[in-house]
A and B are shown apart, each in its own frame.
Chain A
Amino acid sequence: MKYETIIGLEVHVELKTDSKLCCGCSTKFPAEPNTLTCPVCLGLPGALPVLNKKAIDLGITAGLALNCKISRECKFDRKQYFYPDLPKGYQITQFYAPICRTGWLKKEFPTGRRRIRITRIHLEEEAGRSYHSGAGIIDSDYSLLDYNRSSIPLIEIVTAPDLRSPREAKEFMEELKIILEYTGVSDCKMEEGSLRCDANISVRRQGDRELGKRAEVKNMNSFRAVEAALEYEAKRQIELLEQNTPLESEETRAWDEGNRETVFMRFKEKAYEYRYFPDPDLLPVIINDDWIKGIRNKLPELPNSKRERYIQEFRLPKDDAALISSSKPMAEFFEAVLKDYSGEPKNVSNWIIGDLVRLINQEKIEFHQIKLKPEALGQMLKILDQGVISSKIAKTVFEEMFYTGNKPEIIIKEQGLEQISDVQLIQEIVVKVMADHPQSIQDYLSGKKKAKSFLVGQVMKETKGKANPGIVNVLLEKELEKIKE
């Protein structure tokens, strides 16, 4: 019997704003507990929320990037429940009229390209953070509360149940992250909790039309955890199905990273227990065409279309195009180099994917922190193409540029790295090297081809790597031929 896994995601994304959704407090992280608070985000009696326009801008941005319809009237509701880290006893969110509806994200899966539908995106505020002395609030001796996070703006992106495997869920999340980073909506740091996702998952027999009862899986703190948790949960549900004891009611489960299993938390609350109603403290925000147009005009080219363009326009291999377009600063760097450099784009991507990424990883910095200027790389590539330096020397120059930010021509000049193409000079060195290594010549003559490479190496060593390797090769060949004769 074949089974089908049906997955829908609810993705929570903290927005990249300087201040909170409903007050002017900073969103800085990390910070001393309870230092970034005010009467509003502490829910003190009488304090009132005032919306952050930037948060609405970013909500619209996310909606446009995901092909959503933007609501013309953006309204806020109260979601009511009691919990110590929820200072007002309700969360300001959007239930009845979310800011975005019905969009999609196109994604290339191993099974082909598909559109994953976005059902809605709504804006809301974060609660504070609880730190329990025990496992949970009920069995702890005490709990500590930090309201720094209280009222930080968030969007929740809800997908239709369009994903068909844990792997697809993971890949969808990766794609979504790239888009949200690109558009400046969020910095999407899963480890800091600025990107979180819950998944609704159910299984059914292949060919069945009706969906099975679903479980909501929470607490997946990395892309890998998303895949692992959903794989576990799918397997568990299939086993239940095979034993003829499928899920009877919807439940919420938590991924236990240590034990690598999902654990039952509770049966799902019905939406009505939250008693949603329009927040009378916030008037509807009217979003007009100009507002949307303004944001649409500022929207950067999205990774998907960059990827396509790199393949079409720059003839990059698929993998290079995908890798470079996956990071906005990297893609911008790549394109900036090509503004100065009219050579083969693949040369540029090679240097970025190879040496640059290696050095960045080695130094544990972020791409946007590098000292290397795109013009400098373009210049270096030009010099390399002209044969002024060898590709070996280029590596030295590149490292120097990476660490100092200096221009290549200055590095080459100061360190005397220019390639030696003077035939006479090289000839002299070749002769000297051959005189110094008679054994190698014997070896070569007796058929050991490797000996020639050794000799080339010695010439390069003598010239500190600056000799034009092509010329060295030709001259050495000639000399060896002479001896042969």
Chain B
Amino acid sequence: MEIVEMSLGQLRKLLDNKEISALEMTKGFLGHIAQLDPEINAFITITEEEALFAAREADARIAKKEGITPLTGIPIAIKDNICTKGVKTTCGSKMLANFIPSYDATVVTKLKQAGAVLIGKTNLDEFAMGSSTESSYFGLTRNPWDLKRIPGGSSGGSAAAVAAGMVPLALGSDTGGSIRQPAAFCGIFGLKPTYGRVSRYGLVPYASSLDQVGPMARTAKDLAVLYHNISGYDPLDSTTVPLLPEKVNDLPQGLKGLRFGIPCESYDKKIDPGIKEKLLLVADLLEKAGCIPVEVSLPSLEYAAAIYYLIAFAEASSNLARYDGVRYGYRSEEQTDMISMFRQTREEGFGREVKRRILLGTCFLTPEYYEDYYLKAEKGRARMKKDFARAFLECEFMLTPTTTVVPNIIREKTDDLLSKYLSEVCTVAANLTGIPALTFPCGCINGLPVGAQLMARAGKEETLFRVASFIEGELGVVKGGIR
């Protein structure tokens, strides 16, 4: 087997047994990237020099048998909205095309401390606003399963890189499904952790109350390992929770007696019949393993998309105010005074979708609309939390589709904004309620991968890893696309 197809555990064994050095491994992945990425365009920046340096350091650790973690010497890709000291962090935007952070995000610090090899920064929808990775200033990313199709988004670069074997692991960020939807479209695993479990310090914010950094991987176990390495309380992020990091090396197998909820609202008629079929298959497997299906009701799910967009756009309009051309990033040449500097810089520096969201969000926060839109959305959000809390009295986890469709052809649906926004219903609920949600591959339709989503109570990532790992074992690896 080639290293590009191996799981973390297999790579670990090669390194620890000194069958291959971290340097050779990193070179191997860099070579794979050089071969595939011109076509896929998963990366905005490849940090070859830094990666080789980190690989040598990892080799030194391995030689001394000191400070070896599961990630020591393992190449990892980072979504390009996560700050890396001394390495461009563009957010896929002209606005930050040349922005080099002076500091590392907490998750990056943690990975570096673990000895991981950061190999490059991956493409995304501009400022993580989108679900197709078509809106990046650095060009679109293609789906390794079918290059005519989108990889999903906004963490499309990370999803494509992992799916194509350019890296075994990647970090994404998820505000309304930006890890899970591209993971599903690219046939890999992705986790949106419980809000507050992973530090946001250094994640360039889109919507602060919804954003979470999360892992993307090709196996459930790899996903869990990466999650455990990046999670935990961070004194630099007031919204992280001071809980001890969980320790899980081997995921427990038994699922007997676990109740899984099937929210009737998420299986409505808009869902692709092929996807529905796959889900029923998964449900069967769970039942056979001793899980108990329960039908649960989430009446407020109907409003999830509306609530999500009101809150996300409002927060985005504020979070993106700092890009004014004064201190860093793009500054328009077409300026004569302060006002025109602000106006032209933002006019030229942001793309269409970002401007659309800023304008709408600004509007939602004006007093004419604040109460009717923003406050009402916050009330809706509180209602959703209650609905979920009630549903989780009856089950330990829920099973839903990750997306209602398979990846579309590039540029095919760009104009149909409403259907694009609505296809995110299944994923946004987890962000609005703060609960963890995991997507796993559950088969293919016409050669395109399909994902299913598991959700659990806040802090119960372990349940999700257990279930996903079980199904992975039952279904075997879902293979396809270029590797």
Contact = CB atoms under 8 A, between A and B. Distances in A.
Contact of A42 (B89, B238, B327, B337): B327
B235 A50 contact: yes
Contacts of B208: 280-281
29 contacts: A44-B101, A45-B101, A45-B204, A45-B205, A46-B203, A47-B202, A48-B200, A48-B237, A48-B239, A49-B238, A84-B326, A87-B322, A87-B326, A89-B320, A89-B322, A89-B323, A89-B324, A90-B318, A137-B338, A272-B370, A277-B314, A277-B318, A277-B370, A280-B207, A280-B208, A280-B239, A281-B208, A282-B238, A283-B238
Contacts of A45: 83, 89, 91, 96, 99, 101, 204-205, 322
A88 B321 contact: yes
B318 A78 contact: yes
A138 B238 contact: no
Nearest to B321: A89
Given A82-B321, A82-B324, A282-B238, A47 B201 contact: yes
Interface of B: 81-83, 89, 91, 96, 99, 101-103, 105, 200-205, 207-209, 235-239, 314-315, 317-318, 320-324, 326-328, 337-339, 342, 362, 365-367, 370, 374
B201 A275 contact: no
A304 interface: no
Interface of A: 39, 42-51, 78, 80, 82, 84, 87-90, 137-138, 145, 272, 275-277, 280-283
Nearest to A84: B326
Nearest to A271: B367
Give the one of A50, A138, A280 with max B CB within 10 A: A280
A39 B321 contact: no
Contacts of B317: 275
Contacts of A280: 207-209, 239, 315
A43 B322 contact: yes
Given A47-B103, A87-B322, A137-B338, 17 more contacts: A39-B101, A42-B327, A44-B83, A44-B328, A45-B205, A46-B89, A49-B238, A50-B236, A80-B318, A84-B324, A87-B326, A89-B321, A89-B324, A275-B317, A277-B374, A280-B315, A283-B238
Contacts of A277: 314, 318, 365, 370, 374
A88 B324 CA distance: 9
Nearest to B342: A82
B205 to A, nearest CB: 7
Contacts of B322: 43, 45, 87-89
A44 B83 CA distance: 10
Contacts of B103: 39, 44, 47
Nearest to B235: A50
B83 A46 contact: yes
Give the one of A43, A45, A80, A283 with max B CB within 10 A: A45
A272 to B, nearest CB: 4
B262 to A, nearest CB: 32
A46 B321 contact: no
A276 to B, nearest CB: 8
A150 to B, nearest CB: 11
Contacts of B367: 272
A283 B81 CA distance: 23
Contacts, number: 102
Given A88-B321, A277-B374, A46 B204 contact: yes
B236 A48 contact: yes
A46 B366 contact: no
A138 B338 contact: yes
Nearest to A277: B365
A318 to B, nearest CB: 50
Give the one of A48, A80, A84 with max B CB within 10 A: A48
Contacts of A282: 238
B148 to A, nearest CB: 34
Nearest to A138: B337
A44 to B, nearest CB: 7
A281 B201 contact: no
Nearest to A137: B338
A373 B361 CA distance: 63
Contacts of B235: 50
B205 A272 contact: no
B238 A281 contact: yes
A137 B326 CA distance: 13
Contacts of A82: 321, 324, 342
Contacts of A137: 338
A87 B342 contact: no
A39 B238 contact: no
Contacts of A87: 322, 326-327
B102 A44 contact: yes
B202 to A, nearest CB: 4
A137 B324 CA distance: 15
A121 B110 CA distance: 40
B365 to A, nearest CB: 4
Contacts of B337: 138
B453 to A, nearest CB: 24
Given A88-B321, A280-B208, A51 B238 contact: yes
Contact of A84 (B89, B207, B338): B338
A50 B238 contact: yes
Nearest to A50: B238
Contacts of B324: 82, 84, 89
A185 B367 CA distance: 34
Contacts of A88: 321-322
A334 B254 CA distance: 77
Contacts of B202: 46-47
Contacts of B99: 45
Contacts of A145: 326
A140 to B, nearest CB: 9
B224 to A, nearest CB: 26
Given A45-B83, A50-B238, A87-B322, A275 B362 contact: yes
B145 to A, nearest CB: 32
A137 B341 CA distance: 12
In order of increasing CB-CB distance, the 5 nearest A-B pairs are A89-B321, A280-B209, A272-B367, A280-B208, A275-B365
Nearest to B102: A39
